Amino acid sequence: MKKFKKIAIYPGSFDPVTNGHIDILERSKRLFDKVICAVGTNTSKSPLFSLEEKLDMLYHTVPKGVAIDSFGGLLVDYAKKIKKEYNANQMIIVRGLRLTTDFEYEDLMFFNNTKLDDSIETIFLPSKQDLLHINSSIVRDVTKMNPDYIKDLDVPKYVKQKLREKYCSKK
C-alpha cells in the first residue's frame, strides 16, 4: 500500500454541495498528498438529500483525485481510522471559513478535537470573496421558496439538476 505523508479530510453534511465546497477541495488538493471529502451523518439534522444522494452529487462534482467517503460518529475517530488505513504520517482536518461566525464555531470544534486527539491537525481555509454568500442552508431555503432561482445559485450544474428534481417534483 502506498504511504501518504499528509492526508486531509474535508468533512461536512454537503446538503447540497456548493461551489464553495468545491473551491475548498480544489485548493486542498494542492496542499496535501490525499484529500478525502467525507459526508458526516448528523442525527440532529433533517437533511434534504439522503446520504446516497449526497454521495452521488459529490461523485459528479468534486475535483478529480479527491476521494469520497462517509462516516458516522465522531470525526476524530474517523480520522484515526483513515490515518491507520493509509499509514499516514499526518492527518489534517480541513475546514472552510466564510464569516467570523464560522470561525467561532470551527475554533470550538478544533479545541474539542484537539482534546480528544492532539495528533490530528486542523487548518482553516477562508472562502474566496465571490463565494462568501453561499452555503447549503441558503441553497435549500431559496430553492424551497422559489425553484425558479435554482439557475442563479452558486452550485455545480449537476446539483442544480438534483435540486430541480427534488423541488419541482413536489409541485
Looking at 13, 21, 34, 140, which residue is catalytic?
21
Nearest-angstrom CA–CA distance, 109 and 17 = 21
Looking at 45, 81, 133, 144, which residue is catalytic?
45
11, β-bridge pairs:
38
In terms of Cβ atoms closer than 10 Å to its own Cβ (0-12, 13-18, 19+), residue 87 is: exposed
164 tagged catalytic: no
46 tagged catalytic: no
Looking at 29, 60, 98, 164, which residue is catalytic?
98
133 tagged catalytic: no
Looking at 13, 28, 127, 136, which residue is catalytic?
136
21 tagged catalytic: yes
Per-residue DSSP letter, 133: T
Sequence-distant (≥ 6) Cβ neighbours of residue 40 within 8 angstroms:
11, 12, 13, 70, 71, 72, 75, 78
Secondary structure (DSSP) of 10-79:
EEE--TT--HHHHHHHHHHHTT-SEEEEEEEP-TTS--SS-HHHHHHHHHHHSPTT-EEEEE-S-HHHHH
Catalytic residues, by residue number, are 21, 45, 98, 136
